[in-house]
Chains A and B, each alone.
Chain A
Amino acid sequence: MSATRSRGGIRGREGIAGWLFITPVVVILGLFLLLPIIVAIWVSISDWSGKGSPLNASFIGASNYETLLVKPGLSQQDLGASLRNNLYYVILVVPIQTVLALFLATILNARRLKGKGFFRTAFYFPSVTSSVAIVTVFLFMFTGTGVVNQILSWFGIHGPNWFNDPRGVLRLILSGLHIVNTDNPPGWLTSHGFLGMSWYDWLSGPSVAMCALIILAVWTTGGTFMLMFLAALQDVPDDVVEAATVDGATRWQIFRSVTIPALRPTLFLVITLGLIGTWQVFDQIYLTGQGGPAKTTLTPAFLSYQAAFGDFKWGQGAAIAFILFAIIVVMTIIQRIVMRERKTLPRRRRFGTAAPAGTENTTMAASSTGGSR
């Protein structure tokens, strides 16, 4: 308080300086972030056709949203397909990349390991390279006679024509097991649906092409998250691990009861960032098949771009963007609630098993350091 008061004399001058310092950022973010959001809201509820100023367009209410969400038609079908594709993408990428990152970080964290720096660099490097460069390499590796299929052929597997294969993986597996006959799909699945797609189509699983994109995403972003876990692992208190070891806890028990609770804030961060990132997938979609083959790699982010810049349906494009935004917000909130419940549940259940007294403090310490970073 006294510090503020002693500055009282120059406070006016400081106020001016403060505003001068902040003005460039405020102007740029205002013009190119805040204003666009406002314009986009207006475009999504007006009949602007792409010509002239959007301000001269007239209000049409939620009509664009209706076309996308309620009215049966191509727009609704495309949105449905894009949501299905992205949902499979998220469901597979987020857990796999989180587990992979944690797995690599745990191995790298071992004390007596040499060449840590080398491995860390190798795993992290894809994260700093351009998505365009990486997609170029993947397009080459995943051709019909490419690198991946050659390696698969060593094991007697005849690889698919990755980026051109629209077949749903779940459907392939089920028909391989003779559970589902793809020539005669079960009527109770085909006759009902949601967002213009039958349940049979919803349950097709990610297409083979989408699987290649899933592999790409895991491969690229795994390294970043590995680094976050690695940093967090250094904060796992050695004395608790020691004590647990002395008590004869196995590696796995230590990992479950000491390491994981200490990593919870990082785990939360990694999953949140994963969710936000995977729902926004755009570059890879644009660069590989532009939604193809057979719209099985279409995602809301790309659909929004395509509706606006390809079909000049600006209102619909903007509306899709806001639907996507809503999905991301809802997903993050759901994840937050789920993770919060987990935080209290195991503690109550953990009577007999190893429950180190330090766990709670560790979590708090880790969360406070994690937050400041």
Chain B
Amino acid sequence: MSTAVATPPRAPLAPLTTGPRPPLAGRVIKIVIAYAVLILFALIYIYPFLIEIATSFKTGADATAHPLSLVPSTWTTQESFSQLEGVNFPRWFTNSVVVALFVTVGRVFFDSLAGYALARLHFMGRRAINGAIIAVMAVPGVVLLIPKYLVLVQLHMYDTYYGMIIPLLADAAGVFIMRQFFISIPVEVEEAARIDSAGTFRLFWSVVLPMARPAVITLTILSFQGSWNEFSYFLVARGSPQLNTLTTGVASLLSGQLGAGNQFPLKLAAALLMTIPTAVVFFVFQRYFIRGASAGAVKG
């Protein structure tokens, strides 16, 4: 059987794609089963989000009595969206936007600079830094929560916007992604521009970076998503409620005993609103996400 693979003449290629076909009825059944399984799983994956949306328009009592129903008994935002301002939600949203914006721009810029240097420029210690970047990627993030807090306090950056933004401005995985990309593009274009004696930064900014568009978009999306969803770091980097981002803010809703009842419509409305920006970015740039999934794999 093992030798059969080597049999040379395989002329009729077309029908071979499926091999000897099973009887039609069998194939139909298989397809039906495949769809049934996929639809079942799609329901399991989508229904929670539908419940999230529906519950945001219910009253607390309605949500408790009919958790499964996707149609509110009475449509209302009285116990959900209307309550958001009272819990300082707009402030959290603004903070999240500010942090995500700065972190995304910073990461894309600094990571691609460093990635380019590591891929192309010759300088002393390049190999050591390369190794260090890869080593740093292997350190599990949760392990560093306490030490990061300690350093922030020592640098007088604890509980400030600086402390929430600056440490996130560069990440090893992003540098690695950019470096891999720069290595993969041909060096000739740069060589040509170099002969024109363009400065290294100008060369990078106006020749190399535009060529790296797909990688830059992937990194932009990963950085935005990463900083928008970041939770544990903001938990230790700040203490005052004024600096709550959406993640830590909604977390305080989950643990806090504000007012009466379980407040599920309010919590789910807040969760829904914080999901929307990522959802929009996801649906617009889906193919970059999917590319990033394997690239970001290194990130762990």
Contact = CB atoms under 8 A, between A and B. Distances in A.
B295 A373 contact: yes
Interface in B109-131: 110-111, 113-114, 116-118, 121-124, 126, 129
Contacts of A231: 294
B144 interface: yes
B142 A280 contact: yes
B113 A21 contact: yes
B45 A24 contact: no
A290 to B, nearest CB: 8
Interface in A231-260: 231, 238-240, 242-248
Given A14-B123, A21-B117, A25-B113, A133 B271 contact: yes
B160 interface: no
B91 interface: no
B121 A21 contact: yes
B212 to A, nearest CB: 14
A169 interface: no
A110 B30 CA distance: 11
Contacts of B123: 14-19, 22
Contacts of B44: 219
B258 interface: no
Nearest to B19: A245
A102 interface: no
B5 A133 contact: no
Interface residues of B, number: 107
A86 B162 CA distance: 34
Interface string A219-239: 100011001100100000011
B68 A17 contact: no
A85 to B, nearest CB: 15
A2 interface: no
Contacts of B16: 242, 246
A18 B117 contact: yes
Contacts of B180: 372
Interface of A: 4, 7, 11, 13-19, 21-22, 24-26, 28-29, 31-37, 39-40, 43, 53-54, 104, 107-108, 110-113, 118-133, 135-141, 143, 145-147, 150-151, 219, 223-224, 227-228, 231, 238-240, 242-248, 269, 273, 276-277, 279-280, 282-283, 286-287, 290, 301, 304-305, 308-309, 314, 317-318, 321-322, 324-325, 328, 353-358, 372-373
Interface of B: 1-7, 10, 16-20, 31, 34-35, 37-38, 41-42, 44-46, 48-49, 51-52, 55, 63-64, 67-68, 110-111, 113-114, 116-118, 121-124, 126, 129, 132-133, 136, 139-151, 154-155, 166-167, 169-170, 172, 175, 180, 200-201, 204, 225, 228-229, 231-232, 235-236, 246-247, 250-251, 254-255, 262, 264, 267-268, 270-272, 274-275, 278-279, 282-283, 286, 289-290, 293-295, 297, 300
